A and B are shown apart, each in its own frame.
Chain A
Amino acid sequence: EPEVTQTPSHQVTQMGQEVILRCVPISNHLYFYWYRQILGQKVEFLVSFYNNEISEKSEIFDDQFSVERPDGSNFTLKIRSTKLEDSAMYFCASSDEVRGTEAFFGQGTRLTVV
């Protein structure tokens, strides 16, 4: 069964450093998402991406964040200058249809900012 894969599984970084989280969506999917989950809290939407541009973003997704699809398979989330409160599990997801098809989640990247 195809899966969304994310690397690394765990990233520790110092406050103020830049991090790039990587995702390989399912190959025939066209819609890509980043979500985050602070420990013990609900999953929160960050950004959606379609046709090489951002479709929608939440208020969490400020100027410190950016997304990119650098090639035909990878989808990345960059945090320019990490803050302590950016520590969370970041999930990538993909889907093949707008309006309500199953979003497949990756296994997540745990980001710890120290």
Chain B
Amino acid sequence: GENVEQHPSTLSVQEGDSAVIKCTYSDSASNYFPWYKQELGKRPQLIIDIRSNVGEKKDQRIAVTLNKTAKHFSLHITETQPEDSAVYFCAATPGGYSTLTFGKGTMLLVSP
């Protein structure tokens, strides 16, 4: 089955800095890669996603890149703010059905 590795497990940045979280996946059939933000005690919420026919996607301060050959994808947050502090999960679909395989998560801490 699909295996998703995510790094780093924790990331501390100063407000205004950029943050990058990286994920790799194992199943070359995976074709959809969402990123979820989870604040403490709350539901995972989709913040951005990318499909395998696109190399990069941007939404204001958030961008995601995908390298299908290397089987890795990354989340980039620019001009970080304290409210960006949360756990971020990457995920991939193994194909067939939209079953998500999640990475272990990255706790992002943005200090004012």
Contacts and interface: CB of A to CB of B under 8 A. Distances in A.
B51 A105 contact: no
Contact of B51 (A33, A42, A100): A100
A15 B42 CA distance: 26
Given A31-B98, A44-B102, 18 more contacts: A31-B97, A33-B98, A33-B100, A35-B100, A41-B104, A42-B102, A43-B100, A56-B99, A91-B44, A97-B98, A98-B98, A100-B32, A100-B51, A102-B46, A105-B43, A105-B45, A107-B42, A108-B43
Contacts of A99: 31-32, 93, 95-98
B18 interface: no
Contacts of B100: 33, 35, 43, 45, 103
A11 to B, nearest CB: 15
B104 A91 contact: no
A82 interface: no
A99 B92 CA distance: 10
Interface of A: 31, 33, 35, 41-45, 48, 50, 55-56, 91, 95, 97-103, 105-108
Interface in B80-112: 89, 93, 95-105
Given A42-B104, A43-B89, A105-B43, A100 B31 contact: yes
Nearest to B30: A100
A42 B105 contact: yes
B98 A91 contact: no
Contacts of B42: 107
21 contacts: A33-B98, A33-B99, A33-B100, A35-B100, A42-B102, A43-B89, A43-B100, A45-B99, A48-B99, A55-B97, A56-B96, A56-B99, A99-B31, A100-B49, A100-B51, A100-B98, A101-B32, A101-B98, A103-B100, A105-B43, A107-B42
A103 B102 contact: no
A95 B98 contact: yes
A56 B104 CA distance: 21
A90 B31 CA distance: 26
